[in-house]
Amino acid sequence: MKALQFSEYGGPEVLRWAEAEEPHAGPGQIRIKVAAASINPIDWKLSTGMFAGGKPMEGVGRLGFDAAGVVDEIGDGVTGVQVGDDVFGRGNATQAEFAVLDAWALKPSSVDWALAAAAGVSIETAERGLRLVGVEPGQTLFVDGGAGGVGATVVQVAIARGIRVIASAGEGNQDYLREIRAIPVVYGDGVADRARAAAGGDVDAVFDVAGKTPIAELIGLVPEPAKVVTIANYGAAESGVILTRGGADSHPFEALAQGARLLESSQLVIKFQTFPFDRAAEAYAISLGGHVRGKLVLVP
Ligand X SMILES: NC(=O)c1ccc[n+]([C@@H]2O[C@H](COP(=O)([O-])OP(=O)(O)OC[C@H]3O[C@@H](n4cnc5c(N)ncnc54)[C@H](OP(=O)(O)O)[C@@H]3O)[C@@H](O)[C@H]2O)c1
Residues of this chain that interact with ligand X (CB under 6 A) are 40-42, 121, 125, 144-145, 147-151, 168-170, 172-173, 187, 209-212, 231-232, 244-246, 287, 290-293
Q: Which is nearer to ligand X, 244 or 267 (CB)?
A: 244
Smallest distance, Å, CB 186 to ligand X?
A: 9
Contacts 24+ apart (CB under 8 A), 102-107: 102/28, 102/29, 102/252, 103/252, 103/253, 103/256, 104/30, 104/253, 104/256, 105/253, 105/256, 105/257, 105/259, 105/260, 106/81, 106/260, 107/68, 107/260
Answer for the pair 154, 129: CB distance below 8 angstroms, yes or no: yes
Which distant-in-sequence residues (6+ apart) come within 8 Å of 203 by Cβ? 140, 141, 142, 166, 195, 196, 221, 222
Q: Which is nearer to ligand X, 241 or 292 (CB)?
A: 292
Smallest distance, Å, CB 127 to ligand X?
A: 11
Q: Which is nearer to ligand X, 20 or 208 (CB)?
A: 208
Amino acid in the structure at residue 7: S
Smallest distance, Å, CB 213 to ligand X?
A: 6
Q: Which is nearer to ligand X, 212 or 251 (CB)?
A: 212
Q: Which is nearer to ligand X, 10 or 172 (CB)?
A: 172
Residue nearest to ligand X (CB): 148
Answer for the pair 287, 44: CB distance below 8 angstroms, yes or no: yes
Smallest distance, Å, CB 24 to ligand X?
A: 27
Smallest distance, Å, CB 154 to ligand X?
A: 9
Q: How far apart are CA 112 and CA 278, in angstroms?
A: 21
Q: Which is nearer to ligand X, 33 or 196 (CB)?
A: 196
DSSP tag of 38: E
Q: Which is nearer to ligand X, 231 or 256 (CB)?
A: 231
Smallest distance, Å, CB 176 to ligand X?
A: 8
Answer for the pair 177, 147: CB distance below 8 angstroms, yes or no: yes
Q: How far apart are CA 226 and CA 204, in angstroms?
A: 11
Smallest distance, Å, CB 283 to ligand X?
A: 11
**DSSP line for 153-198:** HHHHHHHHTT-EEEEEE-GGGHHHHHHTTPEEEE-STTHHHHHHHH
